[in-house]
Amino acid sequence: MIPTSQDVATRAGVSRSTVSQILNGRAEYFAEETQARVAQAVAELGYEPSSAGRTLARGSSDIVIALIPDTTFGRNLQDIYGSLTEELARRGLTLVLRLSTSTEASLDRLVVGMKPRAVLTLTALPAGQRDLLVRRGVEVLEPDESSNADVNARIGTLQARHLIERGYRSLAYAHLRDARSDPFGGARERAFIEECRLCGLDQPRILHLDVAPEDARSALEELELPGFAVACYNDDVATALLYAATEKGWKVPDDIALIGMDNTPLSRLTVPPLTTIGYDPNQATQGSLQQLLNRLDKDNNREEVVEVQMDLVQRATT
């Protein structure tokens, strides 16, 4: 039913070994006519090598597993993993997604079983999981810590600088309460605080809330008085605070200023619309992608990593 390399070989009138080599980079050692005949047979039969066989023979598969963090990204997964999938496919690799919420044991089963070429994540991995993977001899592709921290630091800095430029002097940073969902919050907060310090402002307040009215209310209680400018972990957090402020009768941005992050479609639809930070998710993954490919290809031709571009989207909450 499904053609094997033997079928291709027979049809092309050569040995299976010839087919295999032509299809695996040794093509130049063969006569052009042979190459052509094999190519034609492959096309006619719609042959695709069995990844199981390949895996067995080579010791590792062509599969790259992306561990999806248990977190809320500002965008849909499509935006984030779509280009990764395509780019890897172009290099003969298959990207497959896996929720990293599942147990360590099941991750173990997965890697031992599938022998992935690499495991990739866009956020730092829990130590336990990373150990597991290296122990199993799997290549782990985490974002370059420095560059990742750098991106998040830039976000925090950008938020702080914008608020300060707009004249606000009492600043605060609002995290998601659930630390699991807030993997980048630490780095952003640190940069935010640092920027405040550099500008000679007081230590900013730190808030924690879930995306819910109750939490937003108590967060505002903590601020006690109007007059704060709050940088938020994402647009959802900003929306929650905006809601509570409106309810409380605080004027935005006079009594409280808010800046979000992600530039989600909904950030244009609050009243008033949110100031936020936007970025091109395609471009954002490009960096991690480059790192990944460099390490996989063992090509040390390090293409310089393009800095992901962030745009401050000024709307009406600052």
Partner DNA sequence: AGCACTCGTTGACACGTGACAACCAGCGAG
Partner DNA sequence: CTCGCTGGTTGTCACGTGTCAACGAGTGCT
Give 86 or 144: the residue with its C-beta nearer to a copy of itself: 86
- Would you give the binding string for a copy of itself spanning residues 86-125, x where CB under 8 A is met? x--x----x-xxxx-xx---x-xxx-xxxx----------
Q: Within 13 Å, how many C-alpha atoms sit on residue 248's CB side? A: 23
Supply the minimum distance, in Å, between the C-beta of residue 95 and DNA: 19
Restricting to residues 258-277, which ones interact with a copy of itself according to CB under 8 A?
A: 265-266, 268-271
Give 5 or 121: the residue with its C-beta nearer to DNA: 5
- Would you give the binding string for a copy of itself spanning residues 137-156, x where CB under 8 A is met? x-------------------
Supply the minimum distance, in Å, between the C-beta of residue 301 and a copy of itself: 26
Taking CB within 5 to 8 Å according to partner kind, which of DNA, a copy of itself, none is near residue 265? a copy of itself
* Angle between the N-to-C axes of helices 185-198 and 145-165, in degrees from 0 to 180, rounded to the nearest 10: 50
Taking CB within 5 to 8 Å according to partner kind, which of a copy of itself, DNA, none is near residue 23? DNA
For the record, the structure tokens of 111 come out as: 């890697």
Binding interface with DNA (CB under 7 A): 2, 4-6, 14-18, 20-21, 23-25, 29-31, 33-34, 47, 49-50, 52-54, 56-59
3-state secondary structure the chain: CCCCHHHHHHHHCCCHHHHHHHCCCCHHHCCHHHHHHHHHHHHHHCCCCCHHHHHHHHCCCCEEEEEECCCCCCCCHHHHHHHHHHHHHHCCCEEEEEECCCCHHHHHHHHHHHCCCEEEECCCCCHHHHHHHHHCCCEEECCCHHHHHHHHHHHHHHHHHHHHHCCCCEEEEEEECCHHHCCCHHHHHHHHHHHHHHCCCCCCEEEEECCCHHHHHHHHHHHCCCCEEEEECCHHHHHHHHHHHHHHCCCCCCCEEEECCCCCHHHHCCCCCCEEEEECHHHHHHHHHHHHHHHHHCCCCCCCCCCCCEEEECCCCC
Q: Is 53 in the site for a copy of itself (CB under 8 A)?
A: yes
Supply the minimum distance, in Å, between the C-beta of residue 69 and a copy of itself: 9
Taking CB within 5 to 8 Å according to partner kind, which of DNA, a copy of itself, none is near residue 43? none
Q: Is 51 in the site for a copy of itself (CB under 8 A)?
A: yes
Supply the minimum distance, in Å, between the C-beta of residue 10 and DNA: 11
Q: Is 177 in the site for a copy of itself (CB under 8 A)?
A: no
Window of 6-14, 205-213, 254-262, 297-305 that interacts with a copy of itself by CB under 8 A:
205-213
Q: Judge residue 284's burial from the number of C-beta atoms within 10 Å of its C-beta, 0-12 exposed, 13-18 middle, 19 or more buried.
A: buried
Supply the minimum distance, in Å, between the C-beta of residue 216 and a copy of itself: 8
Supply the minimum distance, in Å, between the C-beta of residue 237 and a copy of itself: 10
The Cα 71–Cα 101 span in angstroms is 10
Q: Is 127 in the site for a copy of itself (CB under 8 A)?
A: no
Question: What residues make contact with a copy of itself under the rule CB under 8 A?
Answer: 1-2, 46, 48-56, 61-63, 65, 68, 70, 72, 76-78, 81-82, 85-86, 89, 94, 96-99, 101-102, 106, 108-110, 112-115, 136-137, 210-213, 216, 236, 239-240, 242-243, 246, 265-266, 268-271
